[in-house]
Structure 1
Amino acid sequence: MRFLEPGTGRHTSIPPVAYDLTYDDVFMVPRRSAVGSRQAVDLSSPDGTGTTIPLVVANMTAIAGRRMAETTARRGGLTVIPQDIPIEVVTEVTQWVKQRHLVLDTPIVLAPTQTVGDALSLLPKRAHNAGVVVDENHRPVGVVTDEDLTDVDRFTQLADVMSRDLLLLDADIAPGDAFDTLDGAKLRAR
């Protein structure tokens, strides 16, 4: 990106700026790029994880929410919360994100009395398409996956369709050990 030098119309290198700039302060000038298509941009990280999560997520209301902030923060990225969100909500989201586990994804937690319809609306929000069913003491009592919900009436309670075959692992287990344990158990939800 280059800025137009004020009053000249000439392209210049980015000058040192001693203050923050906003969209109202700059005019971005379109120019040619060696990138033929936005589809050709490679977002994969060089650390070998294979992740393609962006480093910075734009402040777009439909994109930059609590879940995206959690995911990108866990991978070392940044999510810019939209400017039209009330400061109290931004504060609450920021505190929530900072309390998340550094490695483990925040699970979808459901009650046994919730319905298949409830689960169907939530499960796509995670890559693993699974939810943890917990009792009134917040202890896991089952797991429900999208496979459990196939061809089931939407008003059926999760207690009737959940798998009660649980394998519980300590949250502090090394990721490699967790993978080996789960892989060896041959469970459907991983």
Structure 2
Amino acid sequence: MPTATRAPARPLAVLSADGTPLHAELHGPEGTPAVVLVHGLGQSAATWSPVIDLLAADHLLIAYDVRGHGRTPAGPGGPSARALTQDLTAVLTACLGGRERAVLAGLGLGAATILAAVRDPLVRAHTAGILNCPTPHPAAPLAGVNRRTQHAWSRTAAALGAVTPAAVPTLVLGGPDEYLTPSAVAHGIRRLTV
């Protein structure tokens, strides 16, 4: 059940490798399991609000606007695959502080960014688990999506799970609309932070 009132987000100063400032925010108490939330194409950190509401009492959640989205500029080279993975690496480094590892949760483009970044041994060493949701939005059922598209997403989810490095626990959420809810995403994150 969502919290009645969530404390305001705390800003996190992050600069990517090329100097692009990334809008990032912290939710939840320090000293709790850390989770980095990476949104999908055409979204922003606000996409994660329903999930943050469910987890902020007992998780440190780090949501950021992906390059060229929300309050993060596109930067000098724009949102290339390399820039997006460097951005995730910068956010992970900035949020860890004295922590060892964090769970990485991604939607669509965010899921692909995580899979690219976790191939870097440094990122992999600081990743406690991965939650991949190869879907357009976690906050609501996928209205208007036909069964053929849902099955394609399910196959994509299975393929994403197959390419994740074996050393990193990975949970892939996909399938019919009823499985892709904020509660399901929050439950998946809780499973990875235990």
The bucket for the TM-score relative to the shorter chain is under 0.3
Report which of the two has the higher share of strand: 2
Higher helix share: 2
Which is bigger in relative contact order (C-alpha 8 A, separation at least 6)? 2
Larger Rg: 1
Q: TM-score when scaled to structure 1?
A: 0.26
